[in-house]
């Protein structure tokens, strides 16, 4: 990347988002030492077997939801030190088939276990999280987005049957990243309200027509409360 950009002031931090204590420690340390213009929450996973980590958390939830939450919360001070700070969460159109579920974060009731549905639930949680962050942190612009189905190693490994059927129609990784980059750097993106869901640089619906997927104000606040409780539990 240094060679490609000519910028030698590039630093790489390696972090496992499935380990909440490590995420908290990193975010806290970064916020104490510097500022941040943009956070793009793109790291995620779709684990197709139910795996419980050493902290008692299901792998998809630990990475996609709790890891994203802890990283975002701990980096808010660093973001608020800059002008026009932004947070972009790479969600998925798969969340359209899911209603927010507050009773089964670890997917104990999802039988048989389905990694695709677990992932979709996590992505619905991310949509709600961004809406709530937007209310809590007005200085920061939050957005979620769907990159469309792109030809990436993650899609190929997590959804092999799907990949084989549609690989000729998939977007390139660059096309998939376009809206996330636009949300991260373009002033035009800031003209949209914080907390919106985007695809192809345009805000789009978070629910299908006539779908029973909307959650109440109380349910959304409960999600954030429970995530904050977990965050506190894993505080180093």
Say which DSSP state 167 is in.
G
Give the list of residues 6+ apart from residue 161 with CB closer than 8 angstroms, or none.
Answer: none
Alpha helices in the chain, H assignment, sequence order = 2-5, 20-33, 59-60, 68-80, 115-136, 153-158, 160-166, 173-185, 217-233
- 133 vs 102, 173, 184, 216, 224, CA distance in Å? 18, 28, 17, 16, 9
Does the active-site annotation cover 163?
no
- With CA atoms as reference, report the closest residue to 144 among 217, 229, 216, 86: 86
The active-site residue out of 119, 133, 137, 163 is 119
Residues designated catalytic: 119
């Amino acid at each position: 990347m240094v060679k490609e950009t000519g910028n030698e002031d590039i630093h790489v931090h390696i972090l496992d988002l499935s380990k909440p204590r490590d995420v908290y420690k990193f975010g806290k340390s970064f916020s104490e030492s510097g500022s941040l213009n943009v956070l793009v929450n793109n790291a995620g996973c779709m684990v197709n077997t139910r795996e419980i980590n050493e902290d008692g958390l299901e792998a998809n939830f630990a990475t996609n939801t709790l890891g994203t939450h802890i990283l975002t919360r701990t980096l808010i001070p660093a973001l608020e030190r800059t002008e026009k700070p932004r947070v972009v969460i790479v969600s998925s159109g798969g969340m359209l088939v899911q209603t927010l579920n507050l009773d089964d974060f670890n997917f104990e009731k999802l039988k048989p276990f389905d990694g695709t549905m677990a992932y979709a639930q996590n992505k619905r949680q991310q949509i709600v999280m961004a809406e709530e962050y937007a209310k809590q942190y007005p200085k920061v612009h939050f957005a979620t987005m769907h990159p469309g189905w792109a030809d990436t190693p993650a899609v190929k490994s997590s959804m092999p049957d799907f990949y084989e059927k549609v690989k000729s129609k998939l977007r390139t990784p660059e096309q998939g990243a376009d809206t996330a980059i636009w949300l991260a750097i373009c002033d035009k993106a800031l003209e949209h309200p914080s907390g919106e869901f985007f695809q192809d640089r345009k805000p789009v619906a978070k629910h299908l027509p006539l779908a029973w997927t909307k959650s109440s104000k109380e349910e959304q606040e409960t999600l954030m409360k429970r995530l904050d409780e977990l965050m506190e539990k894993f505080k180093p």
